[in-house]
Structure 1
Amino acid sequence: MGKAETVRVSKLGKKELRLVNMNGRFFGLADGVQCAEGDNADDVWRLLHDDAGKSDPKYFGFGGARSRFLTFFPNGFHSGGYTSQERDYKLAAKAKLDQTAPLDRAIEGDGFGEAVLAAFRGTNMLSPFEKTRLQDLLRGHRADDFIRAAARFTMDGRDSDLFAMEQALRPHDSAKWTVATYLPFLWRPDKHMFLKPEVTKDFASRVGHRLAADYEARLHLPVYKSLLDLVDKTERELADMRPRDRIDIQSFIWVVGDYREGREAVYQ
């Protein structure tokens, strides 16, 4: 028998999660109880989180998430009620951004501050306070730095570009996930996701995804990668509902994650 070597440790709520390597095989343990096993460390770590997440009091899985969403929109993503409530205004903001600050020009261009500010104001996805702080940034000398970094991140998703956004945003108290992910999400809703922290963490808890534990307020690339993993999994679970892009996935997360007992509204 070989010696067990602890590879990773983290907390998920009150549970201690531990990844152990023994003779080249990996084991995932929750409070000392084995929940996952395999040859790939990342796969076992993911399975461990998925299994442990089911013990969260909020958990109701993707089946419960689907039922919750269909309570509001019985005809799913392709009903008129859903489109008018959740999709049209985001598409309008995207169209305006693409016209006034196209991605291919924003990467190296300058002078897009007012156009980007209008795009931020075009939806209710940010709070009024966030929009007010952005006005100072996007009318100031760091506007081009932020917009170029956001455009580069949209194209490549690199840590250096996320850091550049943070450097431009921090003096304005705007280094928030909502601000950093908004433009990439509108420019490329096939690839990126908007991160509204509280509602997304709630959703992650309800479907048993590790983002609930991975989340940090600072702009840290592993957090965003965990978000994209949640999105990938959600897309697979909802494939039969035919989501068109991640605007639909973001709307699904918002409707389910903003869960309130007794708050029911049905849109055909």
Structure 2
Amino acid sequence: MSKAETIRSAKLGKKELRLVRMNGRYFGLAAGVRCAEGENADDVWRQLHDDAGKSDPKYFGFDGARKRFLSFFPNGFHSDGYASQERDYKLAAKAKLDDTAPLEKAVDGTGCGEAVLAVFRATNMLSPFEKTRLQDMLRGTHADDFVQAAARFTLDGSKSDLLAMEQALKPHDNAKWTVATYLPYLWRPDTHMFLKPEATKDFATRVGHRFASEYEARLNLAVYENLLDLVSKTERELADMRPRDRIDIQSFIWVVGDDQEGREAVYE
């Protein structure tokens, strides 16, 4: 029998999670208690997070998430109330982007800064501070670098293009997930996702997904891939609600994870 070897560890709240390899198999331990095992390290690590996350006081699972969303939008994604509050303005911003800075032009084009700035200003998805810093960047020497990198990332999701966005944004103290994911999400809402960190971490905690504990503020491809895993799982769980794209999924995550005090309005 071989000696147990810890190959990965993380904190989930106050619990220490460990992935251990022994005798050719992998075991997931939460606070020393075995919660998962199998032959694939990634699958065991994922299962460990899912099971351990259920002990969080905020956890209510996808059934609870669905119940919360439907308490505000009882007719779901395909309703006038939902469209007016969540979907229509995002579609309008997408149409504006596709018209003024289409993806195929932005990949290697120049001079798209003003058009892209107008698209950022078309929604309330970024904070006023982020928008102010964006104005300086998109009217400066880094504008073309940022827009081109965002377009390339939309097409291939590569680490190098995410890094290129970071390098364009850093001089303006605006290398934020909200900024980096906004354009890919609008250009390709079938494959990309907008990341609003606090609401998304809260949502992940409530449904028991590891994104909540593995999130990093720095633009890191592993974080984005983790986000897409959360999105894919959410899509599967909500299949019967017929989400059309990730605009619907992002709206669901925002409504469930935002948890505004006193939020009571119902939109039918």
The alpha carbon displacement at 1:261 in A equals 5.5
Find the counterpart in structure 2 of residue 97 from structure 1. 97
Find the counterpart in structure 2 of residue 29 from structure 1. 29
Distance 2:106 2:203 in 1: 33
Distance 1:139 1:265 in 2: 39
TM-score, structure 2 normalization: 0.99
Asked whether 1:8 is paired with 2:8, we answer yes
| 1:209-224 to 2 correspondences below 5 Å | 209-224=209-224
Find the counterpart in structure 1 of residue 242 from structure 2. 242
Distance 1:111 1:261 in 2: 42
Find the counterpart in structure 1 of residue 233 from structure 2. 233
Q: Deviations over 1:120-143 (max 9, x none)?
A: 001000011111110010000110
The alpha carbon displacement at 1:262 in A equals 4.4
Find the counterpart in structure 2 of residue 17 from structure 1. 17
Q: Deviations over 1:92-142 (max 9, x none)?
A: 000010011000110110000000000100100001111111001000011
Find the counterpart in structure 1 of residue 128 from structure 2. 128
Find the counterpart in structure 2 of residue 252 from structure 1. 252
The alignment partner of 1:74 has SS state of: coil
Distance 2:204 2:91 in 1: 25
Distance 1:261 1:96 in 2: 33
Find the counterpart in structure 2 of residue 110 from structure 1. 110
* More deviation, 241-250/217-226: 217-226
Distance 1:173 1:249 in 2: 29
Find the counterpart in structure 2 of residue 55 from structure 1. 55
TM-score, structure 1 normalization: 0.99
Question: Which runs of 5 or more residues in structure 1 are unaligned?
Answer: none
Counterpart of 2:137, as a letter, is L
Counterpart of 1:227, as a letter, is L
The structure 1 segments of at least 4 consecutive aligned residues displaced by more than 6 Å after TM superposition are none
The alpha carbon displacement at 1:242 in A equals 0.2
The alignment partner of 1:76 has SS state of: coil
Question: Which runs of 5 or more residues in structure 2 are unaligned?
Answer: none
The alignment partner of 1:18 has SS state of: strand
The alignment partner of 1:2 has SS state of: coil
Asked whether 1:189 is paired with 2:189, we answer yes
The alignment partner of 2:212 has SS state of: helix
Find the counterpart in structure 2 of residue 179 from structure 1. 179
Distance 2:263 2:174 in 1: 31
Distance 1:111 1:42 in 2: 43
Counterpart of 1:131, as a letter, is K
The alpha carbon displacement at 1:168 in A equals 0.4
The alpha carbon displacement at 1:3 in A equals 1.5
Question: What is the alpha-carbon root mean square deviation over aligned residues?
Answer: 0.8
Distance 1:126 1:9 in 2: 33
The alignment partner of 1:78 has SS state of: coil
Asked whether 1:72 is paired with 2:72, we answer yes
% same residue? 81
Q: Deviations over 1:215-250 (max 9, x none)?
A: 111101111111000000000000000000000000
**Matched residues, number:** 268
